[in-house]
Every structure is written in structure tokens, then in C-alpha cells.
Amino acid sequence: MRKGDWVVYRMQKHSTSPGRRAKEVSAAPRGETYSYVVDKFWVVKELLADDLVLLVTRKGKQHTLPQADPNLRAASWWVRWVYGDRFREIEKLVEE
């Protein structure tokens, strides 16, 4: 990974009503809540020591994750084409 790379992070979530972007939805044993994953579109802001990477979200939040995190992957050409506007929006925050 390099600074400015577009990445996708599969975030595990739990709630009573999954959103329309939820994938791999499964109900809790009693059916009160759901467990699912949502793809988050982030941009690499900086590479840190110990193989950590600083990522920026669409709203400007920052997350530090290991580069080897199995939920973190480079954006494919298809994702880059379909969600390019989201990534470009984040790039503006990174440049500031």
C-alpha cells in the first residue's frame, strides 16, 4: 500500500435493522438483532511504523489498522469505477 491508495474495509456490524448495503446478514439466536458486514471506502493517508496504515473515511475520521488485516483490501477496478465519487471525496480531505 501507498499513500493515496483507495481501499475497502469490510466492517462487522450488529443492529436491529441492517441497512441496504449490508452483506452476509445473519440473525442472532433469538432473532432480536442481526450480524452483518458493510464495505467501507477509505483512502490511505499515511504508512506508519510496524506495518500500520492510517486511513481516512468519507467524513474525515481516521483509523489505524495493520496492513495485513484480512478485512482490508485494495479497491478493485470495478469498485473504483462504481464508487469513484466516494473515493475522490475522501481524497479532498487527505489533501487538506
Range of the domain at 63: 6-95
Answer yes or no: are the C-beta atoms of 93 and 56 closer than 8 Å.
Answer: yes
Answer yes or no: are the C-beta atoms of 54 and 15 closer than 8 Å.
Answer: no
Residue 64, domain member (yes or no): yes
pLDDT digits (tens, 9 = 90+) for 31-84: 889 999 999 999 999 999 999 999 999 999 999 999 999 999 999 999 999 989
Residue 1, domain member (yes or no): no
3-state secondary structure of 18: coil
Give the pLDDT confidence score for residue 69 in this predicted structure. Answer: 95
Count of domains forming the chain: 1
Question: pTM of the predicted model, to two decimals?
Answer: 0.85
